[in-house]
Chains A and B, each alone.
Chain A
Amino acid sequence: AQRVTQPEKLLSVFKGAPVELKCNYSYSGSPELFWYVQYSRQRLQLLLRHISRESIKGFTADLNKGETSFHLKKPFAQEEDSAMYYCALIPAGTYKYIFGTGTRLKVLA
């Protein structure tokens, strides 16, 4: 079955500490993977996608097909990074997202 797993519901780190939000997926083909973010009182928005291989707001994510993972990383967390983060997968040939359950990141001062 196609599935996205985010094992941590809540992740708390101190400001300036490194952050890694875990995402594992279950899919037999070549998926397209995304990270979406929802800041407090804002709508869900795209943070980054694996095919663009870019860094957004200091975040990066590398697709590891061997480990079927797409972890989101940032070397130095900032308070404004506090938000809900969702990993999502689109199976090949579709436009339908499969979302993980989300991880709430709290960056403490």
Chain B
Amino acid sequence: SAVISQKPSRDICQRGTSLTIQCQVDSQVTMMFWYRQQPGQSLTLIATANQGSEATYESGFVIDKFPISRPNLTFSTLTVSNMSPEDSSIYLCSVSQTSSREQYFGPGTRLTVT
């Protein structure tokens, strides 16, 4: 298993600003993912964070809005850029090893944009 921490745990931001969310894992992992969970809705995959290369984004999500970094096998960041109230959501980081399809989830970052 893996223990995942996210910072910040919550934030309230003004529209037009950007927020960077950090995801730290206690062990090296192959795969890291970022999800969004909007109020009352399910988890939607934003992107797969690839170590040493550009993230792979899902349909409807673009790098300019959600730039992702993954400098090593234990850390990733997701930036929510030029925020609007529609970006208010919980953002979750998860990790997985290629040997297992189980994903371990972080506690989430609750973002409110005013």
| Chain B 40-61: CB-based contact to A (< 8 A → 1; otherwise 0) | 0111110010000000001000
Residue total for A at the interface (Cβ-Cβ under 8 A): 16
CB of B67 within 8 A of chain A? no
Give Cα distance in the complex from A49 to B100, angstroms: 11
Known: A86-B42, A100-B42, A101-B42. A95 touches B31 (CB 8 A): yes
Which residues from B are CB-within-8-Å of A32? 101
List of A residues within 8 angstroms of B43 by Cβ: 44, 86, 97, 99
User: Is B103 in the interface zone, CB < 8 Å from A?
Assistant: yes
A97 with B45: CB separation less than 8 A? yes
A45 and B41 contact, CB distance less than 8 A: no
Q: A96-B48, A99-B43, A102-B42 are in contact. Are A44 and B105 (CB under 8 A)?
A: yes
Looking at the assembled complex, report how far the CB atom of A37 sits from the nearest CB atom of chain B, in whole angstroms: 11
Residues in A whose Cβ lies below 8 Å from that of B31: 95
B92 contacts the other chain (Cβ, under 8 Å)?
yes
**The one of A86, A90, A99, A100 that contacts B101, using a Cβ cutoff of 8 Å:** A90
Q: In the complex, A37 Cα to B33 Cα: how many Å?
A: 18
Partner of B108, one of A43, A97, A101, A102: A43
Q: CA of A32 to CA of B101 in the docked complex: distance in angstroms?
A: 9
Q: Which residues of B contact A43 (CB under 8 A)?
A: 4, 105-108
What separation, in Å, do the CA atoms of A100 and B43 have in the docked complex?
Answer: 8
Q: Which 4 A-B pairs have the closest CB atoms?
A: A44-B105, A101-B42, A99-B43, A99-B42
Could you jot down 29 A-B contacts, CB within 8 Å?
A32-B101, A34-B101, A34-B102, A43-B4, A43-B105, A44-B43, A44-B105, A46-B103, A49-B101, A49-B102, A86-B42, A86-B43, A90-B101, A95-B48, A95-B96, A95-B98, A95-B101, A96-B33, A96-B48, A96-B58, A97-B43, A97-B45, A97-B103, A99-B42, A99-B43, A100-B42, A101-B41, A101-B42, A102-B42
Chain B contacts to A: CB under 8 angstroms = 4, 31, 33, 41-45, 48, 58, 92, 96, 98, 101-108
